Amino acid sequence: MNALTLHEFDCVVSEAHGATRHAVPERVFAWLESQCFHEGDDRPAWLRPARVDGRRAVQVRHYAGVVQAPCGFQIEVLPKIGRHTSADEARARLIDMLKCLGGFRHLQTAQADLSTVRMPLLDVFIRSFLASVQSVVKRGVRNDYVTHQDNLAALRGKLLMAPHLTQNLARRDRFFTAHDEYSPNRPENRLLHAALRAAIAISRAQENQRLARELCFVFADVPPSSSISGDLRAIRLDRGMAHYEAALDWARLILQGFGPVTSAGAQQAPSLLFPMEQLFEAYVRKHLASQLRDGHVLTAQASQHHLVSHRQAQWFRLKPDLLIRAGRNTRVVLDTKWKLLDASQNTARDKYQLSQADFYQLYAYGHHYLDGQGDLALIYPRTDAFAQALPVFDFPRTPGMRMWVLPFCLKTKRLMLPASLALDQVLQRPAD
């Protein structure tokens, strides 16, 4: 076994203890443990030490994606909603959510492409990169004039006097020149060649490896980039090079470690891990905008208010995830929460698995952004256990303010609304 699929908050143990579920080879477990206990600011946030049946373990936190150990073993982490569906559906939802991030807007997946959702995530991204390079090749690899300096047998271009006198004082048959050549050896092509080689090394899908090798032949006359950061700074998408954009975006991700979470220590490993809270917020923000009624706009991460003032300074900035505004008036304050609720746990003790801290947070937002008059909403992912809005929550001391707890359907990409005249004036109800 060279791969393991988990869900958020699953624990991983070593095969050396005889475990069969969520077990990895001893060398992989040792690497994961070293990540947990790495000292410094680069300690990864996606792992933490744990105990399972009295044995050492590591627990994946609120991150989803894939990471590859230095030995090549891949660990795929799917969203926790996958526990209530299938791994293929959870992977498809994650891929769909990732398209909301700027660096992954070029993801190419078809709804009917079953091989995509069954393919490990790392290979899904490599497949999209290879498709973008194929598009570059079909539309033409661009050349550019590149200045070369060489000691030639004939004068070509500009004679460089200083090196010419140094090297050819006793050789009248040589000329040290600087001349331009129309060549594919430009930063953009060097980066693509380097990323293709990296794709061959980290991909586990034979089809991806075959295609990457074929594309490497196209760039055979281009040396792979030896200075990734330098070539990235030198990218110049001239007129007629718009078809390079997607391929270069993917190359940047592959060559710089894919995602915002990287491995710590000397042994770096390809990773594609994302905090699900941020991913869910980006997904809701993108699709909720299409549900707004005319005259309303969605504002993200507003931050014009603070909780307190102290000694002529403002402290504790209040930053709700989303605001729905009509002109200068704020109509609804919304916060997204990547947590699974259970509508059947409606007792005073269980409270649907809601967090008291989240209610305090929204209460503060309501007083500052709504002046204590209007609607607040907490948005959670829709599941079978939480398929419709909960009954409204009222604040006894602030009768003009209401709290809604609403499900957002990841499949239909729509917010499920309660029977509320106030919200109906702001948001369109999803079609049945």
State in Å, rounded, how far the first CA of the chain is from the last one.
44
CA angle 379, 384, 390 (to 5 degrees): 45
**Predicted confidence (pLDDT) at residue 2 exceeds the cutoff of 50:** yes
CA–CA gap between residue 323 and residue 399 (Å, rounded): 21
Is the model more confident about 301 or about 398? 398
Is the model more confident about 43 or about 393? 393
Is the model more confident about 171 or about 69? 69
**Predicted confidence (pLDDT) at residue 308 exceeds the cutoff of 70:** yes
Instruction: Name the residue type at position 245.
Output: E
- Given this model, what pLDDT does residue 259 score? 47
Greatest mean pLDDT among 166-170, 238-242, 389-393 lies in 389-393
The phi and psi torsions of 162 (rounded to 5 degrees) equal -60, -55
Instruction: Name the residue type at position 310.
Output: H
Using a pLDDT cut of 70, give the percent of the chain over it. 86
The phi and psi torsions of 181 (rounded to 5 degrees) equal -125, 140
Where residue 41 falls among pLDDT bands split at 50, 70, 90?
low
Mean pLDDT of 398-424: 91
Instruction: Name the residue type at position 234.
Output: A
Range with lowest mean pLDDT among 245-254, 336-345, 374-383: 245-254
Where residue 19 falls among pLDDT bands split at 50, 70, 90?
low
User: How buried is 239 (Cβ within 10 angstroms: 0-12 exposed, 13-18 middle, 19+ buried)?
Assistant: exposed
Where residue 195 falls among pLDDT bands split at 50, 70, 90?
very high
Where residue 42 falls among pLDDT bands split at 50, 70, 90?
low
Where residue 408 falls among pLDDT bands split at 50, 70, 90?
very high
Greatest mean pLDDT among 175-179, 289-293, 426-430 lies in 289-293
215 near 133, Cβ under 8 Å?
A: yes
Helices (H), 37-104: 87-98
Using a pLDDT cut of 90, give the percent of the chain over it. 37
- Given this model, what pLDDT does residue 39 score? 63
Mean pLDDT in the chain? 84
CA–CA gap between residue 24 and residue 15 (Å, rounded): 5
The token pair at 425 is: 């004036």
Angle in degrees, 0-180, between the axes of helices 121-139 and 87-98, rounded to the nearest 10 = 50
CA–CA gap between residue 203 and residue 122 (Å, rounded): 7
**Predicted confidence (pLDDT) at residue 31 exceeds the cutoff of 50:** yes
Q: Over the stretch 226-258, which tens digit does the pLDDT of each residue have?
A: 888 899 898 888 888 888 988 898 888 888 765
Q: Count the alpha carbons within 13 Å of 157 in the hemisphere toward its beta carbon.
A: 18
CA–CA gap between residue 35 and residue 65 (Å, rounded): 17
The token pair at 313 is: 């300074």
**Predicted confidence (pLDDT) at residue 29 exceeds the cutoff of 50:** yes
Tell me the sheet residues that pair with 326: 329
Tell me the sheet residues that pair with 59: 11, 48
Sequence-separated contacts (24+) of 290-295 with Cβ below 8 Å: 291/414, 291/415, 291/427, 291/428, 291/430, 292/324, 292/426, 292/427, 292/428, 293/425, 293/426, 293/427, 293/428, 295/326, 295/327
**Predicted confidence (pLDDT) at residue 194 exceeds the cutoff of 90:** yes
**Predicted confidence (pLDDT) at residue 307 exceeds the cutoff of 90:** no
Greatest mean pLDDT among 97-106, 131-140, 156-165, 270-279 lies in 131-140
Q: Over the stretch 69-128, which tens digit does the pLDDT of each residue have?
A: 888 888 889 999 888 787 888 888 888 888 887 666 656 544 434 455 567 778 888 888
Mean pLDDT of 153-159: 70
User: Nearest Cα to 150, choosing from 167, 170, 132, 130?
Assistant: 167
The token pair at 399 is: 């009768």
User: How buried is 395 (Cβ within 10 angstroms: 0-12 exposed, 13-18 middle, 19+ buried)?
Assistant: middle
Is the model more confident about 133 or about 146? 133
